[in-house]
Structure 1
Amino acid sequence: MSNSTGKCPVMHGGHTATGTSNMDWWPNALNLDILHQHDTKTNPLDPDFDYKEALKSLDVEALKNDVKALMTDSQPWWPADWGHYGGLMIRMAWHAAGSYRVADGRGGAATGNQRFAPLNSWPDNVNLDKARRLLWPIKKKYGNQVSWADLIVLAGTMAYESMGLPAYGFAFGREDIWHPEKDIYWGAETEWLGKSRYDGDASDSLENPLAAVQMGLIYVNPEGVDGKPDPLRTAQDVRETFARMAMDDEETAALTAGGHTVGKCHGNGSEQNLGPDPEAADVHEQGLGWNNSTSRGIGRNTMSSGIEGAWTTNPTQWDDGYFYLLFTYDWELKKSPAGAWQWEPIDIKEEDKPVDVEDPSIRHNPIMTDADMAMKMDPEYRKVCQRFYDDPDYFADVFARAWFKLTHRDLGPSQRYFGPDVPNEEHLWQDPIPAGATDYDVNAVKSAIAATDLSLSDLVATAWDSARTFRSSDLRGGANGARIRLAPQKDWAGNEPERLAKVLNLLEPIAAETGASLADVIVIGGNVAIENAAKNAGVTVEVPFTPGRGDASQAQTEVESFEPLEPIHDGFRNWLKQDYQVAPEELLLDRAQLLGLTAPEMTVLVGGMRVLGSNYGGSTDGVFTEQVGRLSNDFFVTLTDMSLSWHPVGKASYEIRERATGATKYTASRVDLVFGSNSVLRAYVELYAQDDSQEKFVRDFVKAWAKVMHADCFTR
Structure 2
Amino acid sequence: MDGSNVSPGGGCPVMHGGNTGTNDSVTKWWPDALNLDILHQHGARTSPMDPDYDHREAVKSLDFEGVKADVKALMTESQDWWPADWGHYGGLMIRLAWHSAGTYRMGDGRGGAGSGNIRFAPLNSWPDNASLDKARRLLWPVKKKYGNALSWADLIILAGNMAYESMGLKTFGFSFGREDIWGPEKDVFWGSETEWLAKSENRYGDLDDPGTMYNPLAAVHMGLIYVNPEGVNGVPDPARTALHVRETFARMAMDDEETAALTCGGHTVGKAHGGGGAHDQIGGEPESEGVHAQGFGWANPGHDGVAANAFTSGIEGAWTKHPTQWDMGYFDYLFGYEWELTKSPAGANQWQPVDMPEDEKPVDASDPSKRKNPMMTDADMAMKVDPVYNEICQKFRADPEYFADTFARAWFKLTHRDMGPKANYYGPDVPAEDLIWQDPVPAGSTSYDVDAVKAQIADSGLSAADMIATAWDSARTFRGSDKRGGANGARIRLAPQKDWDGNEPERLARVLAVLEPIAASSGASVADVIVLAGNVGIEQAAKAAGHDATVPFAPGRGDATDEQTDAGSFGVLEPLADGFRNWEKDDYDISPEAMMLDRAQLLGLTAAEMTVLLGGMRVLGVNHGGSKHGVFTDREGQLTNDFFVNLTDMANTWSPVEAGNHYEVKGRKTGEVRFTATSADLVFGSNSILRAYAEVYAQDDNAGKFVRDFIAAWNKVMNADRFDLVA
Q: One fold, TM greater than 0.5?
A: yes
Of 129, 152, 158, the match for 1:148 = 152
Question: How big is the shift at 1:273?
Answer: 1.2
- 1:244-269 CA distances to partner (integer Å, 9 max, x unpaired)? 00100000000000000000000114
Of 620, 627, 630, the match for 1:622 = 630
Question: How big is the shift at 1:334?
Answer: 0.5
- 1:538-577 CA distances to partner (integer Å, 9 max, x unpaired)? 1111111100000000110011111100000000000000
**Residues 636-645 or 494-503, more deviating:** 636-645
- 1:490-521 CA distances to partner (integer Å, 9 max, x unpaired)? 00010000000000000000001111000000
Of 703, 707, 716, the match for 2:712 = 703
Partner letter of residue 77 of structure 1? W
- How is 1:161-180 mapped onto 2 (pairs within 5 angstroms)? 161-180=165-184
- 1:307-329 CA distances to partner (integer Å, 9 max, x unpaired)? 00000000000000000000010
- Contact 1:264–1:311, Cα closer than 8 Å, also in 2: yes
- Contact 2:652–2:668, Cα closer than 8 Å, also in 1: yes
Q: Which has the higher contact order (CA 8 A, sep 6+)?
A: 2
- How is 1:529-678 mapped onto 2 (pairs within 5 angstroms)? 529-650=537-658, 651-678=660-687
Match of 2:224 in 1: 217
- 1:226-284 CA distances to partner (integer Å, 9 max, x unpaired)? 00000000000000000000100000000000000000000114442111111111000
Question: How big is the shift at 1:295?
Answer: 5.7
Partner letter of residue 241 of structure 1? T
Match of 1:279 in 2: 287
Give the number of aligned pairs: 698
Q: 1: distance between equivalents of 2:252 and 2:116?
A: 18
- Which segments of 5 or more consecutive residues in structure 1 lack a partner in the other structure? 1-18
Q: 1: distance between equivalents of 2:645 and 2:57?
A: 45
Match of 1:300 in 2: 308
Match of 2:477 in 1: 469
- Contact 1:466–1:484, Cα closer than 8 Å, also in 2: yes
Question: How big is the shift at 1:20?
Answer: 6.4
Q: 2: distance between equivalents of 1:663 and 1:343?
A: 74
Q: 1: distance between equivalents of 2:30 and 2:629?
A: 28
Partner letter of residue 397 of structure 1? D
- Contact 1:110–1:410, Cα closer than 8 Å, also in 2: yes
Q: 1: distance between equivalents of 2:57 and 2:554?
A: 22
| Partner secondary structure for residue 137 of structure 1 | helix
Seen in structure 2, the aligned counterparts of structure 1 residues 22 and 420 have a Cα distance that, compared at 3 Å, is closer
Partner letter of residue 200 of structure 1? D
| Partner secondary structure for residue 629 of structure 1 | coil
Match of 1:59 in 2: 63
| Partner secondary structure for residue 448 of structure 1 | helix
Of 193, 196, 206, the match for 1:200 = 206
- Which segments of 5 or more consecutive residues in structure 2 lack a partner in the other structure? 1-22
Of 88, 111, 114, the match for 2:92 = 88
| Partner secondary structure for residue 28 of structure 2 | helix
Partner letter of residue 511 of structure 1? A
Q: 2: distance between equivalents of 1:371 and 1:311?
A: 12
Match of 2:9 in 1: none
Q: 2: distance between equivalents of 1:665 and 1:63?
A: 65
Partner letter of residue 125 of structure 2? S
Q: TM-score, normalised by structure 2?
A: 0.95
Partner letter of residue 687 of structure 2? N
- How is 1:148-547 mapped onto 2 (pairs within 5 angstroms)? 148-194=152-198, 195=200, 196-201=202-207, 202-269=209-276, 270-293=278-301, 296=304, 298-547=306-555
Q: 1: distance between equivalents of 2:187 and 2:555?
A: 35
Of 14, 18, 29, the match for 1:25 = 29
- 1:566-614 CA distances to partner (integer Å, 9 max, x unpaired)? 0000000000000000111100000000000000000000000000000
Q: 2: distance between equivalents of 1:540 and 1:344?
A: 76
Q: 2: distance between equivalents of 1:517 and 1:165?
A: 42
- Contact 1:279–1:289, Cα closer than 8 Å, also in 2: yes
Match of 1:49 in 2: 53
Q: 2: distance between equivalents of 1:292 and 1:66?
A: 28
| Partner secondary structure for residue 663 of structure 2 | strand
- Contact 1:479–1:523, Cα closer than 8 Å, also in 2: yes
| Partner secondary structure for residue 396 of structure 2 | helix
- 1:18-77 CA distances to partner (integer Å, 9 max, x unpaired)? x96542211111000001121110111111111122122111111111001000000000
- Contact 1:273–1:295, Cα closer than 8 Å, also in 2: no
- Contact 1:118–1:182, Cα closer than 8 Å, also in 2: no
- Contact 1:112–1:177, Cα closer than 8 Å, also in 2: yes
| Partner secondary structure for residue 636 of structure 1 | helix
- 1:80-113 CA distances to partner (integer Å, 9 max, x unpaired)? 0000000000000000000000010000000000
- Contact 1:174–1:411, Cα closer than 8 Å, also in 2: yes
Partner letter of residue 198 of structure 1? Y
Q: 1: distance between equivalents of 2:279 and 2:686?
A: 49
Q: 2: distance between equivalents of 1:395 and 1:22?
A: 52
Q: 2: distance between equivalents of 1:302 and 1:655?
A: 64
Q: 2: distance between equivalents of 1:478 and 1:271?
A: 50
Match of 2:105 in 1: 101
Q: 2: distance between equivalents of 1:616 and 1:271?
A: 59
Question: How big is the shift at 1:298?
Answer: 4.7
Question: How big is the shift at 1:297?
Answer: 7.2
Partner letter of residue 539 of structure 1? H
- Contact 2:256–2:389, Cα closer than 8 Å, also in 1: yes
Question: How big is the shift at 1:294?
Answer: 5.8
Match of 1:10 in 2: none
Q: 2: distance between equivalents of 1:627 and 1:136?
A: 60
Question: How big is the shift at 1:137?
Answer: 0.2
Q: 1: distance between equivalents of 2:566 and 2:186?
A: 32
| Partner secondary structure for residue 631 of structure 2 | coil
Seen in structure 2, the aligned counterparts of structure 1 residues 683 and 34 have a Cα distance that, compared at 3 Å, is same
Q: 2: distance between equivalents of 1:302 and 1:123?
A: 15
Partner letter of residue 653 of structure 1? H
Partner letter of residue 381 of structure 1? Y
Q: 2: distance between equivalents of 1:540 and 1:335?
A: 75
| Partner secondary structure for residue 203 of structure 2 | coil
| Partner secondary structure for residue 700 of structure 2 | coil
Seen in structure 2, the aligned counterparts of structure 1 residues 91 and 294 have a Cα distance that, compared at 3 Å, is closer
Match of 1:13 in 2: none
- Contact 2:81–2:305, Cα closer than 8 Å, also in 1: no
| Partner secondary structure for residue 477 of structure 1 | coil
| Partner secondary structure for residue 332 of structure 1 | strand
| Partner secondary structure for residue 343 of structure 1 | strand
Q: 2: distance between equivalents of 1:285 and 1:513?
A: 67
- Contact 1:117–1:180, Cα closer than 8 Å, also in 2: yes
The root-mean-square deviation of aligned C-alpha atoms, in Å, is 1.0
Partner letter of residue 142 of structure 1? Y
- Contact 1:267–1:303, Cα closer than 8 Å, also in 2: yes
| Partner secondary structure for residue 666 of structure 1 | strand
Partner letter of residue 712 of structure 1? D
| Partner secondary structure for residue 697 of structure 1 | helix
- Contact 1:297–1:303, Cα closer than 8 Å, also in 2: no
Seen in structure 2, the aligned counterparts of structure 1 residues 158 and 20 have a Cα distance that, compared at 3 Å, is closer
Q: 2: distance between equivalents of 1:388 and 1:360?
A: 30
